[in-house]
Structure 1
C-alpha cells in the first residue's frame, strides 16, 4: 500500500464538504445578484449550506449564523481556521484564507476553487473548460492551429475591450473560426466597476479594477494584491470609449491569469536564446521549450490558491508533441504566501500523475540557465530526480 493511500481523503472530510457547500452557495449568490444586494428567495444552495453550517455549529456548542446574510459576513470576516469546525484538518488552509475577500467583498479565488457543481467540478472550471474545448474543436475543424493560438493570446492580453477594440477584434481574420465564442465570452461591464464615469484597468494584469469605498481600487488577482497596490493602467472614460466589455469571470481567473504567467515565461525564455512554442499541438500543454542541442521541455503553468486541490487535479503532461522532460509550474508568489505549497502538492498528487514535478517559475528559469551553461545534473532538470532519464533527442527518444 502506498503512503498516499494511508492518508485520509480530506475531500471527504465532513467539514471540508460543508465548506465546499458554503463556497458553492457564495459563488451562486454572487452570480445572481452580487453579495451586497442579494434578495429573497435565496438560491437553494445557499439555504442548504446555511442549514448544514447551523447544524454543525450546534453540535460543536458554537453560536451559528442567524441567516444567509450572516453566513456571508462570516465568509468575509473570519479566516477558515477560526470557523467552529472541529474535524477540519489543521494544515488545510493558511492563516488568512477566507472565502470572500475582506476588502472588496468579492468571492476569493479559493472560494471559486472550492465551489462545486455536479460531480465535484468547480462551476468556474466547467465554464472555462467548455469554452476552451469549443475553441479547440472549431480550430481543428478548420485545420487552423494559428487561430487557436491567436484566440488564447486574445484571452491573455485583452481581457477588456472598448468599442474600438471590439471592432478591431471583429475584423481579425485569424479569429474567424472562434468568432461565435468571442461574442459570448465578452460580457458588458457592470456599472459597479465605474467611478466618476471612468473605468480603470490594472497595469500589471490588464483586468478592470474594482473601486472601493475609500477611493482606492482593488485588483481581483491574488498575485497583484500580493505585490502591493494595483498600478493604474488604462483609464476608460465611458463618454469617450462607449460600451466596455470584459471576459467572464471564470476565463479571467482560469485562463487570463495563468496565461499571463505563461507569456511572461515565454518572453523570458526567448530572451535566453531558447525556442518557445506556445500551446503546441492544439494546447497539448502550455510551453514547448527547445534548447540549442534539441532537448525539449514541456511545461504546463498553473495558478491555484490551494495546493491540495491543485495536487488532486494533477495528471501527466500529454506526450504529443514529444518532449524529453516535463513539469508543472506555479508562480513563485504562491510558495511565498504558503511555504508548504510544493510539499502539499506532492502529497496530494495522485498516482496518475506519475511523479509529476511542480516548480516555481523562478526554479524553471534557473534550471534553464544552468542547462544552457552546460550543466546536466538534477539542478538543470525539470523531471523528477528519481525518474529514469530519456536518451538524447538526437536518437529519437521522447517521453510519452
Structure 2
C-alpha cells in the first residue's frame, strides 16, 4: 500500500487539505455537467467533500451546508476568510478569495490550482500538460521545432476560431504535424457566450467574454479584470461566422493566459535589442535571451493566482538549451494584486528549487536593461546569487 502524499508548509494543514478536496469536487462537477445543471446522483468526490465540510462544521459548532447546492453557494458567495475552517486563517490565502467566481459562476483560477488529482496536480493542469507534451512529441517526430513554436503561438494569439480562421490554420504548413491535435482541442462555443445572436471577444486577450445579467461583461483572465471592465472587441455573428470554436478552458487558463505574458515579455526584450528565442528545445523553458556578449538567460513565465502553490511547485529550470542564469517570471499585475506575492513564493519554495528566484516581468526587463548598460552587480543579475531581498521591486 502506497504512503499518503505529504505536503509542506500550509498545504499540510487539515483544513487546507479539506479545501483542496472541495476545489477538486467543484472542478469535477464543472467538467462533467456544468455548475448550473448538475443533478443527482452527485459525483462521489462532491459527496465526500460535502461530508467532510459538514463534519468540520460540527466540530466547531458552526452551521454546515445542507447539501451540495449550498456548498457550491458557499464557494461562490462566501470568501475564504468567512469559512469556519480555522486553518485557512494561517494559510497565505487572501481573505477575499473564492472558489467560484461570483459574477460568472465558473471555478476560479485559484480553485483549479487547489484541485488535486493523482500525485497533486489538478485535472486541469494534467490536461494542459498532456496536450503540450503531445504537441512536443508530434513536432519532435517531424523534426520541426518551428512547428512547435507555431503551435504555441497559435494557442496564445488565436484562442477563438471562426470558420475562416479554421481554414487559414488548415493551410499553415508549419502546423501540419499538430493538425489533428488542434482539431481536438478547439471545441464548439456554448450558447452561454451569446448575447443577441453574437459572440463578443475581449479586445485585450481575445478570449470570449461572458455576458452578465446586468448587461456587463466578464473576462475569465485575471489580468483583464485587474485592468478594469473588459473592452469588447469586434463581435462574431453566429450566422455569418459559421461554427465558432474556442480552446478548452484548461488551455485558455494555463497556455493562452500566461502566453500573453510570454509574448509581451518577448516584445519588451526585443525592443531593448536583445535576441529572444521562444519555447527553445521544444519548450524546455519559455524564453532564451541572448545578450550581445553571448551571455544567456533562461526564463519561465508563470501566471498563477496563488503564490504559495507556485512556490510549492518550484523547481530548477531545465539545463538545456544551455544558459548562464535562469529565473521564473510572473506578470507585474499579480504582484500588484497581492503585495506579498513574491515573498509568499519565496517562503513556500522548496529545496528542489535550488533558490530559484521569481521576478516580475517589470523587474526582469529592468535587470536586462542594466546588463546592457554594462552593469554586472546585483541589479543586472537574475540568479539565486542576487542579494536583493525577495519581494523587493526597486523603482
TM-score > 0.5, shorter chain as reference: yes
> TM-score, normalising length from structure 2?
0.94
Which residue does the alignment assign to 1:271? 271
Which residue does the alignment assign to 1:321? 321
CA distance in 1, matches of 2:179, 2:386: 46
Is the CA contact (8 Å cut-off) linking 1:199 and 1:208 kept in structure 2? yes
Does residue 1:303 correspond to 2:300, yes or no?
no
Q: Could you tell me how far 1:73 is from its partner in structure 2?
A: 0.6
Is the CA contact (8 Å cut-off) linking 2:9 and 2:348 kept in structure 1? no
CA distance in 2, matches of 1:87, 1:304: 22
CA distance in 2, matches of 1:247, 1:126: 16
**C-alpha spacing 1:56/1:352, structure 2 compared with 1 (3 Å):** same
CA distance in 1, matches of 2:50, 2:208: 32
Which residue does the alignment assign to 1:175? 175
Is the CA contact (8 Å cut-off) linking 2:92 and 2:344 kept in structure 1? no
Q: Could you tell me how far 1:31 is from its partner in structure 2?
A: 1.4
Query: Paired residues, what number?
Result: 381
Which residue does the alignment assign to 2:244? 244
CA distance in 2, matches of 1:87, 1:214: 36
Q: What per-residue deviation string (whole Å, max 9, x for no partner) do you get for residues 328-359 of structure 1?
A: 00011111111111111111111111110000
Which residue does the alignment assign to 1:339? 339
Is the CA contact (8 Å cut-off) linking 1:10 and 1:89 kept in structure 2? no
Which residue does the alignment assign to 1:210? 210
1:52-71 to structure 2, matched below 5 A, reads 52-71=52-71
Which residue does the alignment assign to 1:361? 361
Is the CA contact (8 Å cut-off) linking 1:194 and 1:211 kept in structure 2? yes
Q: What per-residue deviation string (whole Å, max 9, x for no partner) do you get for residues 196-216 of structure 1?
A: 000000111110100000111
Farther-moved stretch of structure 1 (28-37 vs 184-193): 28-37
Q: What per-residue deviation string (whole Å, max 9, x for no partner) do you get for residues 189-237 of structure 1?
A: 0010011000000111110100000111100011110110001113100
Is the CA contact (8 Å cut-off) linking 1:81 and 1:90 kept in structure 2? no
Q: Could you tell me how far 1:89 is from its partner in structure 2?
A: 4.4
SS at match of 1:288: strand
Which residue does the alignment assign to 2:372? 372
CA distance in 1, matches of 2:50, 2:171: 49
Q: Could you tell me how far 1:60 is from its partner in structure 2?
A: 0.4
Does residue 1:129 correspond to 2:129, yes or no?
yes
CA distance in 2, matches of 1:112, 1:276: 31
Which residue does the alignment assign to 1:256? 256
Q: What per-residue deviation string (whole Å, max 9, x for no partner) do you get for residues 154-200 of structure 1?
A: 00100000011011111211111111210110011001001100000
Q: Could you tell me how far 1:87 is from its partner in structure 2?
A: 2.6
CA distance in 2, matches of 1:120, 1:262: 26
> TM-score, normalising length from structure 1?
0.93
- Identify unmatched segments of 5+ residues in structure 1: 1-6, 388-400
Q: Could you tell me how far 1:95 is from its partner in structure 2?
A: 2.3
CA distance in 1, matches of 2:189, 2:216: 19
CA distance in 2, matches of 1:91, 1:249: 27
Which residue does the alignment assign to 2:35? 35
- Identify unmatched segments of 5+ residues in structure 2: 1-6, 388-395
**C-alpha spacing 1:110/1:344, structure 2 compared with 1 (3 Å):** same
CA distance in 1, matches of 2:91, 2:117: 25
CA distance in 2, matches of 1:336, 1:386: 22
Q: Could you tell me how far 1:91 is from its partner in structure 2?
A: 4.1
Which residue does the alignment assign to 2:390? none
1:87-106 to structure 2, matched below 5 A, reads 87-106=87-106
Which residue does the alignment assign to 1:9? 9
CA distance in 2, matches of 1:18, 1:244: 39
CA distance in 2, matches of 1:68, 1:79: 17
Q: Could you tell me how far 1:59 is from its partner in structure 2?
A: 0.4
